[in-house]
Amino acid sequence: MLQGMEQAEDPLVRRLLNRMSIESDRMIKLVDDVLLVSKMDTKGETTNPEVVDLIELVENLIQQFYRGDNVKNIVGTGLGLYVVKRFADLNHIKVEVRSKLKQGTTFTLTFQEE
């Protein structure tokens, strides 16, 4: 609403409105992540295991999670690794992390056979 106002023609006002919009989107993402974490931490929360095509799933995930050189411009909420850890714990998945400066990070997931 504010961005459509006549005052938005002023460069300073436009810059401030743009910043407000970015921070609002960031706050929404943070709240979504906190709600997800809360749901995962709820006592009595159970998982509904199902058979999935793991190769297809991983190929799709690699596309949402790749972070390249522009990583400095992408602001996260800081809860991503916690969500992965909680999900792994709930599903009996072992997570290992190896990281090398300027080379990248490798996550290894080991699934327990039933």
- pLDDT for residue 94: 92
pLDDT digits (tens, 9 = 90+) for 95-108: 999 999 888 888 89
Q: Kindly give, in sequence order, each residue whose CB lies less than 8 Å from that of residue 18, ignoring residues fewer than 6 positions away.
A: 3
Q: Kindly give, in sequence order, each residue whose CB lies less than 8 Å from that of residue 67, ignoring residues fewer than 6 positions away.
A: 74
- The domain tally of the chain equals 1
pLDDT digits (tens, 9 = 90+) for 28-62: 888 888 887 787 777 555 567 778 887 888 787 77
CA angle in degrees (0–180, nearest 5) for 54-43-53 = 5
Question: Cβ(105)–Cβ(89) under 8 Å?
Answer: no
Classified as helix, coil or strand, 106 is: strand
Calculate the alpha carbon distances from 96 to 18, 65, 106, 109 in Å: 39, 17, 8, 7
Most confident range (mean pLDDT) of 5-14, 39-48, 65-74, 89-98 is 89-98
The range of the structural domain enclosing residue 18 comes to 2-111
Tell me: pLDDT of 7 over 70: no
pTM > 0.75: yes or no: no
DSSP 42: S
- pLDDT for residue 114: 60
